[in-house]
Each structure stands twice: as structure tokens, then as C-alpha cells.
């Protein structure tokens, strides 16, 4: 039966339990820490240190209540630490409260200690070759049985005071009674189940559980008439919870210059002394060993008092008890019940856990980012003393990689960077989408307007041409006719311009299907440049071509030609007094080929850059531009799954960078033609 239980929902993966556990009997699975029963020594450190109460000792409240309900004779045995735990009420009030809850009798558990001390005296009288390790602390017994079984022969073969009390009651005093032991210790809950001593005590309540029972029964001990303890009144064994008390009771020489008697407490002390004993390093003959720093520091004492305040409370109680001690009654009890059998045996409970190979350990260390010795910080945050112990636990299935804080921090940073990258990509895609949507709706509008005015403009132009024909070649009849012909020519020219605007609009709106073929972008560029070379020479524009060999790509040749034409034409137009155009190509590392068209023209003001590809955005004055060239460029590049970027500096020039995917990415689907 398990003693310590875990509530997954409360576990916050802080690993406090693992840090506190002397034997690392905690398995972390999916970030939840659970106690491994057969590794556990039931010391209760995990319960004591868990900040969220996710670990708790299995309660015996229900069992105890059931004894009351069944009408049993239930004897409570109070652990001698009670004066340090219930500091705000008197012992008599506590006894009264226990009786009010339902206990038939309330005895001082320390009497069990008196019986045990007698047995230790006998053991020492027999003389001992090998060291004797006291076995009054069940956490120590469990540790020896599970982790240093070679020392089992050193354990005093005597039961603990709690079991002695139970055996005394069940042996002669009240064999039919139920014995409930009440104390600060969680390991007692395991001890009563140990097959070597089972049956002596029926249930163990912790002081915390007793407190809960009192609150649930709405019992305020301070309002009750005081009641006295039943049974024998103990003497020196009341001090057994304090370190050194057993050695003193046995009148052993406990001196700084005497290596034969030793008192050791605490988890590190316990582990060290037992290791030394195992290695035969010491001359110690009698070892009083307590896991906590004395039982007053047990895990289920719930007040905020310090170790020394608790010690004083206990001493005060014992001094008062000594003063009023009824020696005759004590001796009668001793004579009548002191002969009970208090012997016990122990079991080797060592658990063989397979050790991972050096290769496996190194592999896990590498996974945690610990490639070099200096990467092993041994910070202990995970609960293990070293990165290596943690790696071993991972191999054995007790720990998880994510328990390492530096590892988690690195993972977090990587995820953050990936998130930033995808956010950037998303933003880019969103901008492209907005631009495409804009083009589609502008395209629809342009198509319908162009359609409507195309016919009337053609009509007007036809009639103007007819009128010009009529006046053409006629002798000039005065100034009026000359002006008439001049005006008609202007109207014809402007109407033709209207016609060409409408044609451009229709062209922009009618995004015809791509005619995809394998092509060499360098040769498309060469063809395009050839169309404009004459114009460049006229304007004294120097052309530099810097073409690198390119792989063929899948694209529409005439549409790409239009892209390059529009961009180079703009460059030519912004350099009326000459300049330089550089056209270069290269194969990018990112799966794209890159075309750069740079000019040394006026440059583009920063505020115009976001509007550059918007339909009808133009800065060309006097009707010289209609602002559709770059919109058409954008549409074509987009349909080729490419990208277009502009770098520009006012007064220095602009560079248009076109990126086209190297293989099979072009499609007509990303930019649909608006309906005509």
C-alpha cells in the first residue's frame, strides 16, 4: 500500500520534491512528479517541501473514524513530540479533545520508548563486536534495507517505541483494542505495514490529520474540561525525540574524544555515516541515527516554531513530568507489561536498477546541450546533484530532458526565433495579399470604365479625322481656318492619348493566362534591352550588363519581357540628362534567380515606396504617366510566385530587384484575372 500520493493537477513542475528527496524516489513524467514507492524511504521530505501540497501522506482519518463507528475500544498513543506540536493548548486539553473525538483511552507513546531503552541496554550488555545502528527511526531502517542492505546486520534488532507501545497494549493490556498512534512522522505509516512488525498498531494519524479531525468535529480543546492521560507515565524516554537522548539514556560515553558513540541526524548525515560504515572507515560502536534533526522536526509538525523553540517546549514538559512522577505506578506497569517481545528482523529490499552505458549517458548529455565539461553547470535546479546524475535518470526513465533549466531556456530562444521568422513571413504574405486584392478590384473598375469609353473615343477620333480630311489641302482662307486646323490636330492628338490610356487600362485589366515555358531569363533581358538601346544612346545613358549563367526557369516569356520593359523604361525616363543603368542577374541561394535593374536617376522618396505598385500612382506630370506600369509588373511577378523589392535613395538612384523561383513554381492561380 502506498504511503505518499501525488495530485497531478497541483504539481507545478518546480522539482522541490526531487531536490528534497534523499534517494531521488521521484519519477517525472509529462512534467508531473510522482513518488516511486519501492525507491521511497517515506521520510516525508517531498510532502514537507512541496509548495502546492501536490504530495501528501495517505490519510488514516477514515480508518480511525470507522473504528469509532464500529464501537471499538480505540486507544490513542501520543508521540512524545506532542508538547512541541500543540504549543497553544495544555496536554490535558489535548487529551480531553482526543476523548471527545471518540478515543476510549489516551496514552503517552513514550512508554514504548521506556520498553525499547531496556532492550537496548540488554543488547549492549551482550557486548558487540560490530557497530550497532539504532533502529528507532523508520526512515533510517527503510534506507538501510533499500540502499545499504550490507548494513542490515548492524541494525539493532529491536522494534521502534511506536511498535513497542502497540505490542505492549495488544500483548497483555488490551488485546481486543485498536491502537492508533498519533505523531509527526510519515514513515510510521509505512512501518505499521512492514511484515516484520505488522499487527501491533492499527492506524497512524499524523499531527496534521489530528488537527483536521479536530476542525471537522468543531472541537475547540481550550473550551473543554482538562483530562489526564491513561496508562503509564513515562520518564526519560519522553526525550527520545531529541538527538542524543538514546545515547544518554543508555549511559554511553558521548564525548568529543570518544569515537565509539555517535549521534547523527539529517539526510546528508545519514547518507554519509552509512557510506563510511559500509566502507569500514570508522571505529564507532553505537550509532544513534535519526533522519530528521530529531522527531520534533518531523514532516507533519505543522506549527511555525523553530527547532530550538520546539526543543524547549518538550524539555519544559519533561521537567514538569519528572517533578510529579509516580515512580511506584511506573514500576508496576514495567513489571506487568515490560516483558513483551520487542524483537524484530529486517529485509533486504535493495532494488537493482540497470545502469546506462557511458555512450547512452553522453548521448543524453549532448541532447541537453552539454557537449563539453564546462556545459555541465550542475546547478541542481532539476533536483539532481549533477547533470550526469540527471542524464542517468533520463536513461532510466525517471526524469525528462525538459527538467533542465538551461536546456529549456535554449529551447525557448529557438522557438522564439522561429516564431519571429514565421511572423515576418506572414506579414510579407499579408502585404502581398493586400496588394493583390487592390490590383484585382482596381482591375475590375478599370476594365468596366475602359470598356464603356473605348467606343465613344473611337467615334470621336474617327470624326475628327474626317473633319481634318475635309480641311486638309484646302487653301487657307483666313486666320480662322488656320487656327481651326491647328485646334483639330490638338483634339486628335489628345483623343489618341485617351485611346492609348484606355488600351493600357484594358491591358492592365485583361491579365491573360500565362504561357509557361522553359526559358533563360538572360536572353529575355537581352531581347528587351535591344528594344530600348537606341533610346538610351540618344539620352546618353550608359548601359552595363552583368549577367551570370542561370538555370532555365518556367515562365511566360512575353510577360517577363513586359516586366523588364516597364522597369527599364521608367529608369530611362527618370534620367533625361543621361546616367547609368546596370542590369545584372545571379542565381540566389534561396531557390530564386535574381534580376537587378539599377539606375542613377532621381530616386524615390521614402513616403512613395509603399504606393509604388498601386494602380494609377504616378508622379509624372503633364499626363506623361498613368501609373499602371509597375502595377502590371507586380501582377506578373506575383503570378510567377516571384517577389519584387525596391531599394532607392533620393538623388542617387533606384534598384528594382526581381526574384523568380527556380523550378516549377509559376502558376496563374495566385493572381486571377479580373472579369472583362
Please report, as ranges, the residues that interact with ligand ADP according to CB under 6 A. Answer: 566, 570-571, 574, 599, 601-602, 604, 612, 617-620, 625-631, 654
Separation of alpha carbons 199 and 420, rounded Å: 65
SS3 string, 637-676, reads HHHCCCEEEEEEECCCEEEEEEEEECCCCCCCCCCCCCCC
Instruction: Give whichever of 59 and 619 is closer to ligand ADP, judged by the CB atom.
Output: 619
Q: Shortest approach of ligand ADP to residue 524 CB, angstroms?
A: 19
Separation of alpha carbons 118 and 340, rounded Å: 11
Instruction: Give whichever of 542 and 620 is closer to ligand ADP, judged by the CB atom.
Output: 620
Separation of alpha carbons 630 and 566, rounded Å: 7
> Any idea which residue has 471527545 for its cell?
100
Instruction: Give whichever of 28 and 598 is closer to ligand ADP, judged by the CB atom.
Output: 598
Q: Shortest approach of ligand ADP to residue 560 CB, angstroms?
A: 16
Q: Shortest approach of ligand ADP to residue 444 CB, angstroms?
A: 19
- Three-state DSSP at 316 gives helix
Instruction: Give whichever of 381 and 646 is closer to ligand ADP, judged by the CB atom.
Output: 646
CA 157 to chain CA centroid, Å, is 48
Q: Shortest approach of ligand ADP to residue 31 CB, angstroms?
A: 56
Q: Is 149 left (phi over 0), alpha (psi -120 to 50) or beta?
A: alpha
Q: Shortest approach of ligand ADP to residue 548 CB, angstroms?
A: 23
Q: Shortest approach of ligand ADP to residue 523 CB, angstroms?
A: 23
Instruction: Give whichever of 184 and 635 is closer to ligand ADP, judged by the CB atom.
Output: 635
At 186, list the grid cell.
510519515
Closest CA to 439 of 615, 286, 626, 268: 615
Contact of 4 with 33, CB cutoff 8 Å: no
Instruction: Give whichever of 68 and 617 is closer to ligand ADP, judged by the CB atom.
Output: 617
Instruction: Give whichever of 252 and 565 is closer to ligand ADP, judged by the CB atom.
Output: 565
Separation of alpha carbons 68 and 50, rounded Å: 32
Residue nearest to ligand ADP (CB): 629
Q: Shortest approach of ligand ADP to residue 568 CB, angstroms?
A: 9
Burial of 314: CB neighbours in 10 Å, binned 0-12, 13-18, 19+: buried
Q: Shortest approach of ligand ADP to residue 434 CB, angstroms?
A: 17
Instruction: Give whichever of 179 and 571 is closer to ligand ADP, judged by the CB atom.
Output: 571
Orientation angle between helical segments 478-509 and 405-471, nearest 10 degrees: 150
Contact of 650 with 581, CB cutoff 8 Å: no
Q: Shortest approach of ligand ADP to residue 569 CB, angstroms?
A: 8
Instruction: Give whichever of 453 and 602 is closer to ligand ADP, judged by the CB atom.
Output: 602
Beta bridge partners of 647: 655
335 membership: H or E segment, kind and range: helix 327-337
Q: Shortest approach of ligand ADP to residue 624 CB, angstroms?
A: 7
Instruction: Give whichever of 138 and 601 is closer to ligand ADP, judged by the CB atom.
Output: 601
Q: Shortest approach of ligand ADP to residue 653 CB, angstroms?
A: 7
Write out the DSSP string of 207-262: HHHHHHHHHHTT--GGGSPP-PPBS----GGGGTTSTTHHHHHTT----TT--SEE
Query: Which residues touch 168 (CB under 8 Å, ≥6 apart)?
Result: 111, 112, 115, 337, 340
Instruction: Give whichever of 456 and 605 is closer to ligand ADP, judged by the CB atom.
Output: 605
Separation of alpha carbons 186 and 184, rounded Å: 7
Closest CA to 161 of 78, 248, 273: 78
Contact of 104 with 256, CB cutoff 8 Å: no
Sign, CA dihedral 230-231-232-235, equals: negative
Separation of alpha carbons 633 and 528, rounded Å: 14
Instruction: Give whichever of 163 and 604 is closer to ligand ADP, judged by the CB atom.
Output: 604
Instruction: Give whichever of 283 and 606 is closer to ligand ADP, judged by the CB atom.
Output: 606
Q: Shortest approach of ligand ADP to residue 479 CB, angstroms?
A: 38
Instruction: Give whichever of 57 and 574 is closer to ligand ADP, judged by the CB atom.
Output: 574
Q: Shortest approach of ligand ADP to residue 520 CB, angstroms?
A: 25
Q: Shortest approach of ligand ADP to residue 377 CB, angstroms?
A: 57
85 membership: H or E segment, kind and range: helix 82-85
b/e for 549-559, b at 16 or more Cβ within 10 A?
ebeebbbbbeb
The half-sphere exposure of 589 on its side-chain side, counting CA atoms within 13 A, is 0
Instruction: Give whichever of 368 and 630 is closer to ligand ADP, judged by the CB atom.
Output: 630
Q: Shortest approach of ligand ADP to residue 563 CB, angstroms?
A: 11
35 membership: H or E segment, kind and range: strand 32-35
Separation of alpha carbons 206 and 81, rounded Å: 11
- Three-state DSSP at 564 gives helix
Amino acid at each position: 500500500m502506498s504511503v505518499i500520493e501525488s495530485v497531478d493537477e497541483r504539481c507545478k513542475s518546480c522539482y522541490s520534491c526531487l531536490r528534497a528527496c534523499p534517494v531521488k524516489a521521484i519519477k517525472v513524467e509529462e512534467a508531473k512528479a510522482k513518488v516511486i514507492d519501492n525507491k521511497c524511504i517515506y521520510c516525508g521530505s517531498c510532502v514537507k517541501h512541496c509548495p502546492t501540497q501536490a504530495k501528501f501522506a495517505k490519510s488514516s482519518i477514515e480508518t480511525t473514524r470507522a473504528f469509532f463507528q464500529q464501537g471499538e475500544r480505540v486507544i490513542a498513543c501520543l508521540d512524545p513530540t506532542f508538547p512541541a506540536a500543540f504549543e497553544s493548548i495544555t496536554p490535558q486539553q489535548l487529551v480531553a479533545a482526543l476523548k471527545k473525538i471518540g478515543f476510549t483511552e489516551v496514552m503517552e507513546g513514550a512508554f514504548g520508548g521506556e520498553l525499547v531503552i531496556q532492550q537496548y541496554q540488554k543488547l549492549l550488555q551482550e557486548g558487540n563486536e560490530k557497530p550497532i545502528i539504532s533502529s528507532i527511526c523508520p526512515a533510517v531502517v527503510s534506507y538501510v534495507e533499500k540502499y545499504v542492505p550490507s548494513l542490515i546486520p548492524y541494525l539493532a534488532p529491536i522494534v521502534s517505541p511506536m511498535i513497542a507501545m502497540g505490542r505492549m497494549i495488544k500483548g497483555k493490556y488490551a488485546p481486543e483494542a485498536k491502537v492508533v498512534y498519533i505523531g509527526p512522522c510519515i514513515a510510521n505509516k509505512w512501518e505499521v505495514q512492514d511484515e516484520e512488525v505488522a499487527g501491533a498498531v492499527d492506524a497512524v494519524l499524523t499531527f496534521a490529520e489530528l488537527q483536521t479531525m479536530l476542525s471537522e468535529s468543531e472541537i475547540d480543546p481550550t473550551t473543554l474540561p482538562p483530562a489526564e492521560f491513561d496508562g503509564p507515565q513515562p520518564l526519560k524516554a519522553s526525550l527520545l525525540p531529541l538527538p542524543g537522548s538514546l545515547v544518554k539514556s543508555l549511559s554511553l560515553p558521548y564525548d568529543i574524544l570518544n569515537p565509539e558513540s555517535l549521534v547523527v541526524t539529517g539526510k546528508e548525515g545519514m547518507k554519509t555515516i552509512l557510506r563510511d560504515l559500509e566502507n569500514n572507515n570508522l571505529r564507532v560502536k553505537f550509532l544513534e541515527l535519526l533522519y530528521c534533526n530529531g522527531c520534533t522536526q518531523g514532516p507533519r509538525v505543522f506549527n511555525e516554531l523553530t527547532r530550538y523553540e520546539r526543543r524547549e517546549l518538550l524539555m519544559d514538559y519533561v521537567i514538569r513530568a519528572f517533578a510529579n512522577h509516580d515512580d511506584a505506578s511506573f514500576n508496576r506497569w514495567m513489571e506487568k507489561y515490560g516483558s513483551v517481545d520487542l524483537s524484530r528482523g529486517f529485509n533486504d529490499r535493495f532494488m537493482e536498477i540497470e545502469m546506462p552505458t557511458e555512450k547512452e549517458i553522453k548521448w543524453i548529455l549532448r541532447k541537453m546541450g552539454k557537449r563539453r565539461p564546462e556545459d555541465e553547470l550542475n546547478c541542481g535546479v532539476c533536483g539532481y546533484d549533477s547533470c550526469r546524475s540527471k542524464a542517468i535518470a533520463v536513461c532510466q526513465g525517471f526524469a525528462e530532458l525538459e527538467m533542465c533549466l538551461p536546456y529549456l531556456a535554449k529551447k525557448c530562444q529557438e522557438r522564439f526565433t522561429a516564431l519571429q521568422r514565421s511572423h515576418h513571413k506572414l506579414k510579407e504574405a499579408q502585404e502581398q495579399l493586400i496588394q493583390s486584392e487592390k490590383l484585382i478590384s482596381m482591375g475590375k473598375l478599370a476594365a468596366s470604365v475602359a470598356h464603356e469609353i473605348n467606343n465613344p473615343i473611337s467615334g470621336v477620333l474617327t470624326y475628327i479625322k474626317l473633319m481634318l480630311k475635309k480641311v486638309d489641302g484646302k487653301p487657307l482662307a483666313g486666320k480662322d481656318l488656320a487656327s481651326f486646323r491647328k485646334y483639330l490636330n490638338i483634339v486628335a492628338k489628345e483623343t489618341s492619348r485617351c485611346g492609348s490610356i484606355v488600351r493600357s487600362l484594358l491591358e492592365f485589366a485583361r491579365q491573360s493566362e500565362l504561357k509557361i515555358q522553359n526559358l533563360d531569363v538572360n536572353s529575355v533581358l537581352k531581347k528587351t534591352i535591344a528594344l530600348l538601346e537606341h533610346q538610351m544612346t540618344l539620352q546618353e545613358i550608359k548601359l552595363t550588363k552583368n549577367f551570370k549563367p542561370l538555370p532555365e526557369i518556367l515562365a511566360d516569356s512575353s510577360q517577363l519581357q513586359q516586366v523588364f520593359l516597364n522597369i527599364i523604361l521608367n529608369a530611362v525616363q527618370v534620367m533625361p540628362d543621361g546616367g547609368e543603368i546596370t542590369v545584372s542577374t545571379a542565381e540566389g541561394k534561396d531557390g530564386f534567380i535574381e534580376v537587378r535593374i539599377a539606375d542613377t536617376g532621381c530616386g524615390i522618396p521614402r513616403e512613395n515606396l509603399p504606393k509604388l505598385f498601386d494602380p494609377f500612382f504616378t508622379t509624372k506630370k503633364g499626363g506623361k504617366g498613368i501609373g499602371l506600369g509597375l502595377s502590371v509588373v507586380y501582377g506578373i511577378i506575383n503570378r510567377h510566385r516571384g517577389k519584387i523589392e525596391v531599394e532607392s535613395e533620393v538623388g542617387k538612384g533606384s534598384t528594382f530587384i526581381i526574384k523568380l523561383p527556380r523550378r516549377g513554381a509559376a502558376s496563374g492561380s495566385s493572381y486571377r484575372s479580373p472579369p472583362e
